[in-house]
Chain A
Amino acid sequence: MKRVITSLVAILIIAGCTDKVMSNKQTSVHSTKSTELQTLMHKFDNLIYQHYESELDRDHKRIDYTKDMIGIVDELVADSKRLKTLQPKNLTKQQIQGFMVFADILEAKSKELKLMVDNYQTEEIAPVITEINNVCINCHATVR
């Protein structure tokens, strides 16, 4: 519930934002990373259909994919947080604040994933990936 409210707050803060809020270069990097993340999420989901492997083999791949996802999420977070220091002219304070809220949620989720990877809690990873996906969807729906 808290997460939903936080996401809603973020959406409200940057609602109405239809301008290009990132530079072309940033948008391109962001878009590439988002696609890579989506592909990894999809690969993660489809591991269960690799019937030649054992469940622990699949767990091993889940850990590998999650590590890659953490890397991408961290890059996306760092990229978004850069906006705070750069303070681009085409962004209002509110818009930057909105990004920061989404970035903070992603950062928290990334930390959660790291903990799960360290403890090999492979069964707990999928729900967090869904939450990350929801943050991405909400942010994209609001900004793009």
Chain B
Amino acid sequence: MFVLTVMQQYDKLVGIFFFMPFALYADANLTTYVQGLEERIEHLEKEKKSKGILNLGSEDTTMFLGGKVTLDTIYLHPANGQNGGSNSNDQFFNANDIPTSREGEESELTLTARNSKFWIKTRTAQVNEKPLMTLLEVDFWGSSGTETNSNSHNIRLRHAYMIYNGWTLGQTNSLFVGSSKPHTLLAPVNDVFMRQPLISYAKEFDKSRLAISFEEPESVIMTQDGVKKAVNDDRFPDVVLKFQHNTARSESSLSLLGRELRIDQENQSSITDTAFGYGYNLTSHIQTYDENGFTFGLVGGKGIGRYMATSFFPSAVINEEGKLEAQFSWGADIAYEHWISNNLHLNMALGQIETDNVLEIDSINKSAWSGHLGLQYNPLKKFLLGAEYVHGSRTLQSDETFTLDRLYVRVSYNF
């Protein structure tokens, strides 16, 4: 034991003698070294204050980046057929994408990553108030690249807006869009979708929210020969009032729309006229048990046009007397979501749209419906693997009906 202790002490002594010169050398440089460290700490403190490499406009602003990477694989029967092009109409789904001719387009396969998204969000703290928030979001549904070489699709602006003290300013979803939608991968044909510049103000209550917005106007008019045109003659913003109410088992919203539709000597025509448009959109999601539940939607009105089904119907038409007349159209959907396990759920949805055509032209749209059946699986957190079968049908004024079938397989990861 004693020998062992001596040997241990001996080791230490050898170590001291061996390393002494180095230690002295280090000691000589210690002051310089510490000074260097202090300078580095000071520099790091400064860096911390300027929030790293991102020099934001305000010290109180925090920036977040996020988005998702998505791959959609779609089997089409029939396809829309755009030779060598982007095939956007094969990748999106809405009633306009149901082809009225299937010659040479019986079945095709297309893949796309255009549903990938990227967003930047900022939050700036305010004294005794809610923070000021902004969002800039883009996807890749801008001008299309071709499939022949590089699929170089361009970036497209989705959202660019700020929220402060109840105000929303910028481009985002219209208040006419319902707060509950089917959880299918693709929306049914009656989808109420609109993204546009707007100014809105919202008042929050305990479980409710009341908001009003003034949104960018745009009239989609059908001429007497059945051609739809977006005319830029609007003078007043579209006005939307939205009421949302949530309970422990439901989320519902009612939106009311009022708008002026106007044409002013468009394309050398002598017609200058206005019409009043109005509409409602009622949506609700009701939980049955656990997270399973139904989603309902009912939309209708005169002159709602572009707010439903991606302008499948016009907002107004130039009637036989040469006057602008708002056209009535409506849509409805019902959907059910059933959770099979904690990370696997089944979705089904049915949607229908119809209009009362003012013009008697055989080739114009009269109605459409779609049915969706899909499974979504989350093998990892934020990772989605989904498959959905879609059947769509489109009927013209002549009562001719055209159908399509599609199978979507989606893989996406949210980062």
Bound: A31/B206 CA distance, A: 26
Bound: A119/B129 CA distance, A: 9
B183 touches A54 (CB 8 A): no
B121 touches A49 (CB 8 A): no
Which residues does chain A contribute within 8 Å of B396, judged by CB atoms? none
Chain B residue total in the interface (Cβ 8 A): 36
Which residues does chain B contribute within 8 Å of A59, judged by CB atoms? 133
Indicate if A56 sits at the interface (CB-CB under 8 A).
Answer: yes
Which residues does chain B contribute within 8 Å of A2, judged by CB atoms? none
Q: Classify the interface of chain A: helix, strand, loop or mixed.
A: helix
Bound: A68/B250 CA distance, A: 13
Which residues does chain A contribute within 8 Å of B163, judged by CB atoms? 56
- Known contacts A120-B123, A120-B133, A54 near B290 by CB under 8 Å: no
Which residues does chain A contribute within 8 Å of B291, judged by CB atoms? 39, 42-43, 46
B121 touches A56 (CB 8 A): yes
Q: B287 to chain A: closest CB distance in Å?
A: 8
Which residues does chain A contribute within 8 Å of B113, judged by CB atoms? none
- Known contacts A43-B291, A55-B135, A64-B246, A48 near B173 by CB under 8 Å: no
Chain A residue total in the interface (Cβ 8 A): 23
Indicate if A131 sits at the interface (CB-CB under 8 A).
Answer: no
A54 touches B137 (CB 8 A): yes
Contact with B along A30-47 (1 / 0, CB 8 A): 000001100100110110
Which residues does chain A contribute within 8 Å of B381, judged by CB atoms? 45
Bound: A59/B159 CA distance, A: 14
Q: B68 to chain A: closest CB distance in Å?
A: 8
Set A42, A68, A123: member contacting B248, Cβ < 8 A: A68
Indicate if A50 sits at the interface (CB-CB under 8 A).
Answer: yes
Indicate if B200 sits at the interface (CB-CB under 8 A).
Answer: no
Indicate if B402 sits at the interface (CB-CB under 8 A).
Answer: no
B290 touches A55 (CB 8 A): no
Given known contacts A49-B183, A51-B115, what 7 new A-B pairs fall within 8 Å (CB)? A35-B290, A39-B290, A52-B177, A52-B187, A54-B135, A54-B159, A56-B135
Chain A interface residues toward B at CB < 8 A: 35-36, 39, 42-43, 45-46, 48-57, 59, 64, 68, 119-120, 123
